[in-house]
Amino acid sequence: MFDVTALGEVLIDFTECGHNPDTGMALFERNPGGAPANVAAAVSRLAGRAAFIGKVGEDMHGAYLKKTLDEIGVDTSGVSVDAGAFTTLAFVSLEPSGERVFSFARKPGADTRLTAEDIPTALLTGSRILHFGSLSLTNEPAHSATLYAVAMAKKAGAIISYDPNDRPLLWDSRERARKVMRSVLPQVDVIKISDEETELLTGAADPEEASRRLIEQGIGCVVVTLGAKGALVRTAAQAEQSEIVPGFASKVADTTGAGDSFWGGFLYQIAQSGKRPGELTLAEAAQFARFGNAVASLCVEKRGAIPAMPDMDTVRARLEGRA
């Protein structure tokens, strides 16, 4: 039984890393990434059992991504190879604050060509949690494949986790993004959204109100990440209350993968608890968020999301104030 199976994009983040001293040209470093893959990597680095479902191109980058996931213990039996499309690339420049600016090479990228036939049923029926994001909903056939996977996993009793992870450049319009990203909410048991995505997903910009609206739609546990302020949590078990869980101080080198590492930690804790999201008390959700904050605070201190994912001993040290 897998703790978490993540479905969606695995890609190369070419992250800006200075300039050539001779020419002044920007230099980019190749890093493995993709939000769902980052979540699976975080779970695996915490000694959880994680699997990944997605598609890469038959190229050097696809081989590198699969090798990277294999090396950190993520099951890649659900990773298929497409000879007709290139592995998706994201070019990421960093602001002085560590925030990111994206540009994508994905017309089409291999991740958008995932089909239902590519998905091993055993991964859907043998996982406590199926996690997905919105990027696999932007294009066919990956859109239909994602809906198929969610339906199969839900039928098997898995917890359905969703991270909208809004990337406006990958949608043909904001209206379609809003419609499609909201369309899957009835299937979702636990969700993470950022404070920048609340209005898009719920019509309410305020995190408190947004979390309340999502609970009212039947989602068992809602987490709104608030950047350096931490995260707001609300559960169906105590729907009238919420709590803001402060983050940990850290020296930010790169925020790429911060939300994904947080969510990997949070989902790992749910899997270990044996509870459904709607059964969690507010105190339990807050405890899980504190754990996720510790994971994220360590991730941002290094460059490259997947290589930066911390192990359990390091996370415990951060929680105890020893790191």
Question: What are 207-217's pLDDT values in tens digits?
Answer: 999 999 999 99
57 within some domain? yes
| Strand 127-133 to 100-105 pairing | unpaired
Percentage, residues of the chain above pLDDT 70: 98
pLDDT score, position 101:
80
Does 164 fall in a domain? yes
Q: Is residue 237 part of a domain?
A: yes
Domains: count for the chain:
1
Average pLDDT value for the chain: 95
Q: What is the mean pLDDT of residues 5-16?
A: 94
Residue-wise pLDDT tens digits, 172-229? 999 999 999 999 999 999 999 999 999 999 999 999 999 999 999 999 999 999 988 9
- Would 67 be classed as within a structural domain? yes
pLDDT of residue 97: 67
- pLDDT for residue 75: 98
Establish if 229 belongs to a structural domain.
yes
Mean pLDDT to the nearest integer, 140-165: 98
Residues 6+ apart with CB under 8 A from 322: none
At 243-262, the pLDDT tens digits run 999 999 898 888 889 999 99
Write down the pTM of the prediction: 0.96
Query: What per-residue confidence (pLDDT) applies to 92?
Result: 82
In a domain, 104, yes or no: no
Q: By residue range, what is the domain housing residue 184?
A: 2-8+33-85+109-320
Instruction: Report pLDDT digits (tens) over 71-103.
Output: 999 999 999 999 999 999 999 887 776 567 888
Report the CATH number that the domain containing residue 187 is assigned in CATH.
Answer: 3.40.1190.20
